[in-house]
């Protein structure tokens, strides 16, 4: 297989062992003589996969009693409406930290009053907005812990006097999380956990059943809790791969260990950016994401961006083009990205810079 360094923002790199075991299971699922693509989701073999995935997810993340872990379809984007559908009576508070937060806000407005308590839109979302002045009469506060497009992240689990909801699509399992501080956490699997097609939801059960409105069956969390994420056919293959990814995290020593690796990778790249004459980071230092590292070329070198992109591509770098709303470059350094790939990118940047001296 061609050797590349996969910095894609999502779907993104997965642990090689998880991909390999998925490939094997596509051919023969646990010795059943059938592909994992072709077994019934009601079979005892698949039920075992679902049970183990939920159990390992809870174990590794430290999900307390009273919370349920669900695997659903629809992506994080469906959660933008499912959250207010299930949790908002009249009013909810949102932190506007980027494009995904804006999309969540747009959906919530269809269900009641939305109070945007803070925003970093004044500086093209290059910092994490303050979380303060949380309205006591709102049903919940919604945050996006990692802003995949702009490369900002909040590293703490904020204190909130009202139930806290978080979109953790792009930093779940990258750092330890105090789940007990949240009423609900959701995200698409395709950044740090598995292939696209599965959405994880961690929900505190006693948060549900408090809204007046009718909730369509498929959009009611209680339906999926009652049926163990099997009300309808779940995304079986993505769930299988999620389990393999979780096993990999466990084999490394758990989330704290993964966090250390992520910190080391990010430090290597941020240091290279900060020590560069031609590259510059786009994010305020205390908000810098460990998962999506955004940088551009300094104003006087802007004309070299395209040339560097070509050089980097030739050196095997994939997915480093910045999102169109930021420009420049974005290297996503998710859990499964090896240090070796970050080193290769850093070497490539240094070599390019030296060639322009």
Ligand X SMILES: *Cc1c(COP(=O)(O)O)cnc(C)c1O
Question: Which amino acids are annotated catalytic?
Answer: 100, 167, 191
Only one of the segments 24-32, 167-175, 261-269, 319-327 lies at the binding site for ligand X (rule: CB under 6 A); that segment is 167-175
Query: In angstroms, what is the minimal distance from the CB of 168 to ligand X?
Result: 8
Over the window 177 to 216, marking each residue x when it contacts ligand X by CB under 6 A and - when it does not, the resulting string is -----------x--x-------------------------
Tell me: does residue 102 bind ligand X (CB under 6 A). Answer: no
Maximum CA pair distance of the chain? Answer: 66
Pairing state between β 184-188 and 199-204: antiparallel
Tell me: does residue 281 bind ligand X (CB under 6 A). Answer: no
Chain positions 138 to 157 lying near ligand X, rule: CB under 6 A, are 144, 148
Candidate list 5, 7, 10, 142; residue touching ligand X; CB under 6 A = 10
Only one of the segments 12-20, 129-137, 164-172, 348-356 lies at the binding site for ligand X (rule: CB under 6 A); that segment is 164-172
Identify the CA nearest to 174 among candidates 286, 12, 307.
Answer: 12
Query: In angstroms, what is the minimal distance from the CB of 143 to ligand X?
Result: 10
Q: Are 197 and 189 in contact (CB under 8 A)?
A: yes
| Sequence-ordered list of residues with C-beta below 8 angstroms from that of 357, at least 6 positions apart, any chain | none
Residue 47's H or E segment, with its range, is helix 44-61
Q: Are 178 and 168 in contact (CB under 8 A)?
A: no
Over the window 72 to 101, marking each residue x when it contacts ligand X by CB under 6 A and - when it does not, the resulting string is ---xxx----------------------x-
Nearer Cβ to ligand X (101/236): 101
Only one of the segments 70-78, 84-92, 176-184, 278-286 lies at the binding site for ligand X (rule: CB under 6 A); that segment is 70-78
| Sequence-ordered list of residues with C-beta below 8 angstroms from that of 98, at least 6 positions apart, any chain | 120, 125, 144, 147, 148, 149, 150, 152
Cα distance between residue 34 and residue 6, in whole Å: 31
Query: In angstroms, what is the minimal distance from the CB of 190 to ligand X?
Result: 6
Q: Are 173 and 146 in contact (CB under 8 A)?
A: no
Distance (Å) of CA 90 to CA 84, 113, 189, 191, 311: 10, 6, 30, 32, 53
Site residues (CB under 6 A) for ligand X?
A: 10, 75-77, 100, 144, 148, 167, 169-170, 188, 191
């Amino acid at each position: 297989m061609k050797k590349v360094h996969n910095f894609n923002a999502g779907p993104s790199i997965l642990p090689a062992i998880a991909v390999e075991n998925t490939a094997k299971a596509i051919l023969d699922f646990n010795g059943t003589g059938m592909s994992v693509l072709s077994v019934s989701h009601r079979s005892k073999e698949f039920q075992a996969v679902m049970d183990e995935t939920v159990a390992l997810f809870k174990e590794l993340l430290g999900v307390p009693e009273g919370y349920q872990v669900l695997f659903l379809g629809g992506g994080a984007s469906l959660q933008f409406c499912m959250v207010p559908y299930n949790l908002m009576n009249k009013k909810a508070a949102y932190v506007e930290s980027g494009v995904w937060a804006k999309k969540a806000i747009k959906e919530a407005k269809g269900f009641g009053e939305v109070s945007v308590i803070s925003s970093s839109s004044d500086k093209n979302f290059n910092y994490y907005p303050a979380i303060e002045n949380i309205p006591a009469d709102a049903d919940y506060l919604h945050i996006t812990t990692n802003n995949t497009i702009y490369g900002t992240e909040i590293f703490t689990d904020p204190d909130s006097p009202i139930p806290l909801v978080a979109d953790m699509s792009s930093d779940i399992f990258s750092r330890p999380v105090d789940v007990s501080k949240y009423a609900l956490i959701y995200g698409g699997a395709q950044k740090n956990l598995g292939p696209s097609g599965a959405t994880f939801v961690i929900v505190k059960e006693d948060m549900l059943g408090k809204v007046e409105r009718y909730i369509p069956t498929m959009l009611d969390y209680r339906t999926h809790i009652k049926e163990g994420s099997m009300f309808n056919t779940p995304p079986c293959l993505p769930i299988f791969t999620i389990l393999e990814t979780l096993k990999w995290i466990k084999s490394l020593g758990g989330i704290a260990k993964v966090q250390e690796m992520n910190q080391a990778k990010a430090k290597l790249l941020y240091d290279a950016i900060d020590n560069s004459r031609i590259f510059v980071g786009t994010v305020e230092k205390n908000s810098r994401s460990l998962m999506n590292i955004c940088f551009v070329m300094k104003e006087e070198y802007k004309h070299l961006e395209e040339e560097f992109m070509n050089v980097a591509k030739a050196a095997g770098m994939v997915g480093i083009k910045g999102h169109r709303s930021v420009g420049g470059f974005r290297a996503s350094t998710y859990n499964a990205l090896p240090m070796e790939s970050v080193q290769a990118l850093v070497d490539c940047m240094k070599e390019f810079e030296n060639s322009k001296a």
